Structure 1
Amino acid sequence: MSSEQEGTSIRCLVAKVGLDGHDRGAHVIARAFRDAGFEVIYSGLHKAPEEIVQAAVQEDVDVLGISILSGAHNTLVPKIMDGLEGYGAKEDTLVLVGGVIPEEDRPELMDAGVAAVFGPGTSMEETVEFVRENAPQR
């Protein structure tokens, strides 16, 4: 039974990490998540990994969606994953990465604990369905 079926909505943080200033995709996915009935928090631009970890922990999110287009994903995403682990939140948080991530970089992100990487052209329906099927049960 999904958490939505139990009467609680899935809580998501959509986060922009690093110096990447392009946030259209983050706004599009945040809107799709809201339209799907999820609770959505948007971090705003230019957040440090530590700020994203703090927000995810303080807001007690089920899902952390990281939007990154800067090319620094192999540096910044593992820092976020390490931070979540430091708070004991890594196992209870579904972490997704969206952006232009080369195929050869995806295994390293998955090894760090990222559940899925969504690139350009991924449908909103596919992303929403993935969250519904994989968000942690609370």
Structure 2
Amino acid sequence: MSADGEQEQRTIRCLVAKVGLDGHDRGAHVIARAFRDAGFEVIYSGLHKSPDEIVQAAVQEDVDVLGISILSGAHNTLVPKIMDGLREYEADEDTLVIVGGIVPEDDREGLKEAGVAEIFGPGATMDETIEFVRENVHERE
């Protein structure tokens, strides 16, 4: 609690991750900067990470949000592997997982069934993404 009796807001910790062979990282850098500017603590994975490396980083860094950036078309293979890994560490309930990139409409429901909270494609605004995270991130003690 702050001196005036209001509850202090905890900093949201985010991992922005590039999975697989996708080398296009401009969007990941843009969202990482927008998250930082919004007051989030941001960790960037770097390029060409395996699903296991992303899971390990998310668990070790105890992130609130995992933002997966993917443009390669391998989202139906790689994202479920990440979700399975988070479940193995019992981190899936505490970690808000969002996906950004090119994901066809027909593939979105399957990713959400796998545990992805939201998918942000071309045209999504930074404000929309930040607001979604703030409204949906799990409160922790």
TM-score (norm 1): 0.96
Match of 2:30 in 1: 28
Q: CA deviation at 1:6?
A: 2.9
Counting matched residue pairs gives: 134
RMSD in angstroms over aligned alpha carbons?
0.7
**1:118 lines up with 2:105 in the alignment:** no
Q: CA deviation at 1:8?
A: 1.7
Match of 2:4 in 1: none
Match of 2:69 in 1: 67
Unaligned runs of 5+ in 2: 1-6
In structure 2, what is the Cα distance between the partners aligned to 1:76 and 1:124?
24
In structure 1, what is the Cα distance between the partners aligned to 2:96 and 2:8?
18
Unaligned runs of 5+ in 1: none
Match of 2:3 in 1: none
SS, match of residue 64 in structure 1: strand
| Rg larger for | 2
TM-score (norm 2): 0.94
SS, match of residue 15 in structure 1: strand
Q: CA deviation at 1:137?
A: 0.3
